[in-house]
Structure 1
Amino acid sequence: MTGLFVTVDGMGGAGKTTLVEHLHRYLTDRGHPVHATTEPSHERLGEIARHQTSIYSGHTLACLVAADRYHHLTTEIRPHLDAGRIVLCDRYITSSYVLQYMDGVPLTFVEALNAEADRPDLAVVLTAEPEVAAARIAQRGAHSRFEAGITTSVREAALYREVAERLTEDGWRVAAVDTTTVSPEHLAAEIGERITAQVAVRTTGPDL
């Protein structure tokens, strides 16, 4: 039996990395084999895409991110899924739709670049009130030029909600959550229960 592929995307300051950490703990405590990873990956292509956004932008950065994604799928994500693990990925296609669009790349181009990438079994999309997200970023420090204050947070919040709706209409299984007031522990339990239910259905019968 193959594993379950779960992606966690969302605006800066919404708590993606924190949720992945708590989900990993929640699921492993319940006996599930779990592998956590991130995009851009920590391979050479991913490190360029992650740390050199001041040099690369637009279509160039979109291509770098997509190339790293396909390499990541081949070398890490699919092998762990084939071994029956739950793979938790911090950022995936949803982030590309939003960030590359914000970087001036047409959505149709981003969609074409990612057309052959694996669809996750569950795509978690996190948003938060822009003022709250911007304050969280200011407290921990910006990770890239994509985190540039309240104006960016307002735009990201709207775009992630739009993309979540678009993916749902396209048949993706999406869990869209506002993290403004919910604790990471509560959210991990909520999403963890949903993942556990999907694993159970995979084990005992056809997917619903």
Structure 2
Amino acid sequence: MNAGRGLWITLEGGDGSGKTTQAALLDEWLRAQGLQTLRTREPGGSEVGVLIRDIVLHHRGDIAPRAEALLYAADRAHHVATVVDPALDRGEVVIQDRYLDSSVAYQGAGRVLDPAEVRSLSLWATGGALPDLTILLDLDSAAARRRLDSADKPFDRLEAEQGEFHVRVRAAFLALAAAEPERFLVIDAAQDPAVIAEMVRARVAPLLD
């Protein structure tokens, strides 16, 4: 960790890949070492983001793909400016569920928009901000669907998309990780959560020095 600046870790992956579980385990481990942490998410990590989250995930009507991408970018711009950057300036470890890679995967590949344009939009919205580490929890789309089905809760707009959509999303995540191996840690999310947590800790530990 840079002096006076915190550490920014994002978790990515398809719906049902276990991001929430791993974020909680990582947060617990870091706090046990006396570090100040902030857990947050996109969309919905700010008051403005809560409103946008309700629109993009729970609006009953259709949302044009470009409008959806713009809404996510708007949430991201406000979230980074008002939540993430201040926490990093305080020297905290930010553990974030989803960031711009999700937009590239879901709105770019999933909605069949131009992934480069979607990424550029988010980079513009955040002034080029990128996390120190991105943990990609990779899970076969069929296995992810089984996990979602077993959760016994209503699907949001993205979870409810057909199988082909989620196959495109997974492929896009893996392509992003292959293009930036220095930023990504790719983990097979079919493994036991405790095993995954140990792999995450092994990668995070050197970043804390």
TM range (shorter): 0.7 to 0.9
Correspondences of 1:2-41 after superposition (within 5 Å): 2-41=5-44
2:195 to 186, 193, 196: 186
Given candidates 107, 113, 121, the residue that maps to 2:132 is 121
Query: What secondary structure does 2:123 align onto?
Result: coil
Cα 1:173–1:109, aligned 2, differ >3 Å: closer, same or farther?
Answer: same
* Structure-2 change in CA distance of 1:184 and 1:57 (3 Å): farther
Q: Which runs of 5+ in 1 are unaligned?
A: 201-208
16-25 or 140-149, which moves further after superposition? 140-149
Q: Residue 130 of structure 1: CA displacement?
A: 2.4
Distance 1:53 1:174 in 2: 34
Does structure 2 conserve the Cα–Cα contact (< 8 Å) formed by 1:26 and 1:188?
no
1:146 maps to what in 2? 158
Aligned-partner Cα distance in 2 for 1:151–1:89: 27
* TM-score, scaled to structure 1: 0.86
**Which of these residues, 165, 170, 187, is aligned with residue 157 of structure 1?**
170
Which of 187, 191, 195 in structure 1 is aligned with 2:204? 195
CA distance in 2, matches of 1:57, 1:139: 30
Which shifted more, 184-193 or 26-35?
A: 184-193
Partner of 2:185: 175
Establish whether residue 77 from structure 1 lines up as the match of residue 88 from structure 2: no
Greater mean alpha carbon deviation, residues 105-114 or residues 57-66? 105-114
Code of the residue aligned with 2:48 in structure 1: it is R
Structure 2: 5+ residue stretches without partners:
none
Aligned residues: 196
Q: Deviations over 1:121-155 (max 9, x none)?
A: 00111111222111001112454232235444433
Shift of 1:32: 1.6
Superposed CA RMSD: 1.9
